[in-house]
Amino acid sequence: MKEIKLVIFDMDGLLLDTERLSNIAWIEAGKNMGIDITYDILRRIKGGNIKNAESVLMSFLDEEKCEKLFREKKRIQVRVVEEEGIRLKKGVLELLTFLKEKEIKTAVATSTGKELATKELQDTGIYKYFDGFVFGDEVKNGKPNPEIFLAACKKFDVAPENAVILEDSVLGLKAAVSGGIKCIVVEDTVQLTEEENRLPYRKYESLLEVRDFFKKVI
């Protein structure tokens, strides 16, 4: 493995336990509108930006119903977040602390927009651990296009082969592979298929296991 100079983190479902809350909101919003939001639909949405979600939903909904569903999902998710709060995923602080000690640069590359992502990272106390950010509203193409990850590499003047991406979503994994960057997957609400399991550089149950892996190679 080439020298690791940059570790790029996805946010939702990888650092923050937000994908679970998002799923609750999508399913409840669908029920309220008589729309069956299936696992397959959620799987195709996860990890992508708003344009990707719109594309998925517009494949079986008209524009008006799609817009109403987005509004209802947003309303419900605000309530769910207020009720449950946002928790860190297992091993987040341990991994970030280790990378800081080793002076490895860290970045967040998330499909979420800057305003919301910044708030959630600050509210959970981990914003200060990162050296840089690339947000979903700062790139033209969302995952599975690799633009957001390549932008992170460019920001730190690090070649893709010297970076590692940590992801939980299929779209994020495919974006990493497309960009020629090694990807470690920690599954969250979506499980990889047998074919998709051939794509990650490594796959672990939690970020604690990722830290233990890095201890061996950094």
So which residues are the catalytic ones? 10
The answer to whether 112 and 12 are in contact (CB under 8 A) is: yes
What is the edge-to-edge ordering of all strands in the sheet holding 105-110?
132-135, 105-110, 6-9, 163-167, 182-186, 202-204
Calpha distance 167→185 (Å, rounded): 5
DSSP for 50-117 reads HHHHHHHHTTTS-HHHHHHHHHHHHHHHHHHHHHH--PBPTTHHHHHHHHHHTT-EEEEEESS-HHHH
H/E stretch holding 165:
strand 163-167
The answer to whether 182 and 199 are in contact (CB under 8 A) is: no
The answer to whether 185 and 167 are in contact (CB under 8 A) is: yes
Query: Computed over its alpha carbons, how large is the radius of gyration of the chain?
Result: 17
CB count within 10 Å of CB 194 equals 6
